[in-house]
Amino acid sequence: MIMFIVFIVLLFNLMNVLLKKKTNEAIVVLVSPDQAVNGTIKFKQTDDGVVIEGEVLGLTPGKHGFHVHGKGDLSDGCTSTGSHFNPFNKDHGSPDSENRHVGDLGNIVADDKGVAKIQITDKIISLRSGDTNILGRAIVVHSGEDDLGRGGHDDSLTTGHAGGRVACGIIGIL
Ligand SMILES: *[C@@H]1O[C@H](CO)[C@@H](O)[C@H](O)[C@H]1NC(C)=O
Ligand SMILES: [Cu+2]
Ligand SMILES: [Zn+2]
């Protein structure tokens, strides 16, 4: 009987380890209204956060706001993806700020050829089930720099004053 209980407990622990080790991955294929901007971005859930890697082409050189928006709806282009993913009703901020939207991933930086290489680890967004899960929502790249809430503009604390939406894509299961 004791052996049986020990066996069941061990089996249970093993299942737990296997389930937790299962990596969740996602992919975004970016589209832009005028086809000028494109790119593919991959997301991998780790125990230290979500690792985001990829490349965006066709941007103007410099910084571009990079966010998760709330809806995975491209029926009206990037406009219908709604505002920044914000399940906890906070202000817009920098990725390392306590007061940020869950979707606030800061800026990506394009070189003089218009290519932005992305290598970000974020501890707030998640590919696991729960309030911060981003699957089915959208990634949006903006025309301008995200001021991370510090610019003092009317829209600094809502959008980071990052300007128009130059490309977007739905976060899909990989
Ligand atoms: C992606 O964008 C770049 C820069 O605008 C362009 O040169 C390239 O042809 C595009 N690639 C595709 C597959 O559309
Ligand atoms: Cu945005
Ligand atoms: Zn935001």
Domain edges within the chain: 23-173
Using one digit for the tens of pLDDT, what is the confidence trace for 92-146? 999 999 999 999 999 999 999 999 999 999 999 999 999 999 999 999 999 999 9
Nearest residue by C-alpha to atom 10 in ligand 1:
38
122: annotated active-site residue = no
Kindly name the residue from 64, 100, 101, 161 that is annotated as catalytic. Answer: 101
What's the CA gap between 83 and 65, in Å, rounded? 13
Ligand 1 centre distance from Cα of residue 56 (Å) = 9
Residue 46 has pLDDT above 90, yes or no: yes
Ligand 1 contacts (CB < 6 A) are 36, 38, 57-58
If you classify domain 23-173 with CATH, what class do you get?
A: mainly beta
Q: How far is the CA of 133 from the centre of ligand 2 (A)?
A: 17
Active site residue 64: no
pLDDT exceeds 90 at position 153: yes
Ligand 1, closest atom to CA 38? Answer: 1
Measured from the Cα of 36, ligand 1's closest atom is 5
pLDDT in tens, 23-44: 599 999 999 988 999 999 999 9
